[in-house]
Structure 1
Amino acid sequence: MDECINSEKENFFLNGIKDNLNKLSIQTYHHEGYTAFIQSLKSYYKQNMRLLNTDHYQTLFFENQRIYTKVKDEPPTKYGEDAEVNHSLVANGCTIEGEVSNSILFRGVTVEKGAVVKDSIILQRCHIKADSTIDYSIIDKDSTIASGTTLKGIEDRPYVIAKRSVI
């Protein structure tokens, strides 16, 4: 994936996997159930946002075999007095004082008062400071978005911030 990103190649399956079959150890597993084919940044965004549909979420996480990951116990999400959250998936350990809509927030995300996050995917431990606007974006883990910053992508081309960035 790093090679694809550095070379600005958008098709991870063709350019990252198929072109490197001689270097990779490929294994198979028979699976019946919910699947999503992620081959590009655009499809990563689209398939993640599909999880906001209750039917897709339920099918992936509660039917057939369950999905297990490492346990990362954190306190429940803390919602501030002025927080507004709708149609979003919010993981534990978050602090939300601003507005979040149609978005996915991973563990430990902070959205300060006055910040607005819409149609976005915010990964672990990101900090969205006051009065920022995040629209159609993917913010990788451990990143900080400064007060008053506006990041705006479009549905077919979300704005992407690399991990551990300070913007």
Structure 2
Amino acid sequence: MNNSNKMCALLSNVTTYDNLKPLTDNRPISTLPFDCKYRMIDFPLSSLANANVKDILLTFNEGETQSVYDHIGSGKEWGLSSLGSHFFVYIMQDFLRKKEQGLPFYETQLEFLKKSRAPYTVLIGSKILANVDLQAVLKVHQASGNKVTAVYKKASSDSLNPYDSVLRFDEETGKPLAILHKDLEDPQPTGNLLLNTFICDTDFLSDFIRERHANGDEEFASVNRHIRNHLSKLDGVGVYEYTGYASNIIDIKTYFEANLEMLEPKNFTSLLYGAKPIYTKIKNEVPTFFAETSDVNGSQFGSGCVVKGKVTGSLISRGVNLEENTDIERSLIFAGSTVKAGAQIKNAILDKNVVIEPGVKIIGKPDSEPLVIAKGSRITEDIIAG
């Protein structure tokens, strides 16, 4: 890639939702497991890797980086350990402390943009599952002559959530007219879900950040959120329609359903095995073993599992042990968990290293969000949703 097409990236991972607890008690949204072997952060990192973005500033909340470092490591899976690549981790609370002390709180971002020497900057987050071709977005951005290009996806009104950012724009000019949260009484059948992904001219973005500081516009530590909130007020803004699979993760229900949607071949192929691959941390493990007693239908498995029971419509992560006469239905079981003989798991999520004792039933209601068993729990008695 010549320097005229070079991009750097600000990857924000500071969004939190109480409705995702207890899954996010010990990890950020960005390291939530997905589809047996991936993590949420794999998707923006892969979009950046596929666009040959080598300079990335990642922002996290204080105390949430251990699982991030464990997963990313040197970054080699996303091409970040090669010569000329750089990724840096920035803690959002450092921003807040500088702001309280009256210090220049955006200096880290500005210094990063300056040193990257990239004409364009990608702003992206980890809570929306998508496989965006950033090189295609860049071509549209360059051809339009705009300063900012926002990526959106058309979605049915029923699929939008109250927390979603919905984009209204002029269909002829593409200029954004408003950014609003989903109005549940909105009669329109579709909405334009903003994917919180933008390509900006770096010079414009640097000036925009300085202006926010000069005007005392200090409400948000996330540059992505600043752009989103000012989008309809800025000149030189265009849009790009993403047509692949996307899911906005804001609570247990949306997270659970997004995983189950990977059991549909169309969704699975669109997100994970399109023209642009998704990369994740490589683990060299033995294949999953299916005993003669196993009965598996419409499910997916990570490596290193031992399966001796029945599994239907479920996703089973790496290193899970399912003993004889177990019955797993419409559930997610995270890495290292054990379900002992005769136990039943239905409409539930078992976090990492959970042990379900023999004969225990974990049964959630099929028409509501699943039961969640917290990481490291040992369950000895039935838990059945009322």
TM, length-normalised to structure 1: 0.84
Change (3 A) 1:101 1:3: closer
Amino acid at match of 1:49: L
Change (3 A) 1:148 1:34: same
* % identity of equivalent residues: 31
Whole-angstrom distance in 1 between the partners of 2:319 and 2:272: 21
- Which residue of 321, 330, 333 maps to 1:122? 333
Matches within 5 A, 1:4-153: 4=18, 5=21, 23=93, 28-29=123-124, 31=132, 32=242, 33-153=244-364
Amino acid at match of 1:131: G
Cα deviation, residue 34, structure 1: 2.4
Aligned residue for 2:257, secondary structure, equals: helix
Amino acid at match of 1:162: A
Q: Which one is further off, 152-161 or 44-53?
A: 152-161
Bigger-Rg structure (1/2): 2
Partner of 2:186: none
Change (3 A) 1:55 1:152: same
Whole-angstrom distance in 2 between the partners of 1:69 and 1:141: 18
- Which residue of 375, 381, 385 maps to 1:163? 375
Change (3 A) 1:152 1:24: farther
Change (3 A) 1:24 1:117: farther
Change (3 A) 1:66 1:24: farther
Structure 2: unaligned runs, 5 residues or longer: 1-14, 23-27, 30-91, 96-121, 125-130, 133-241, 380-386
Higher normalized strand content (fraction of residues): 2
Amino acid at match of 1:28: L
Give the length in aligned residue pairs. 154
CA RMSD of aligned residues (A): 2.6
Cα deviation, residue 24, structure 1: 9.2
Cα deviation, residue 23, structure 1: 4.7
Change (3 A) 1:24 1:165: farther
Whole-angstrom distance in 2 between the partners of 1:166 and 1:141: 11
Whole-angstrom distance in 2 between the partners of 1:57 and 1:137: 21
Cα deviation, residue 90, structure 1: 1.0
Cα deviation, residue 64, structure 1: 2.8
Aligned residue for 1:160, secondary structure, equals: strand
Aligned residue for 2:341, secondary structure, equals: coil
Give structure 1 regions of 4+ aligned residues with deviation exceeding 3 angstroms: 22-25
Structure 1: unaligned runs, 5 residues or longer: 7-11, 14-21
Partner of 2:100: none
Aligned residue for 2:352, secondary structure, equals: coil
Whole-angstrom distance in 1 between the partners of 2:340 and 2:319: 14
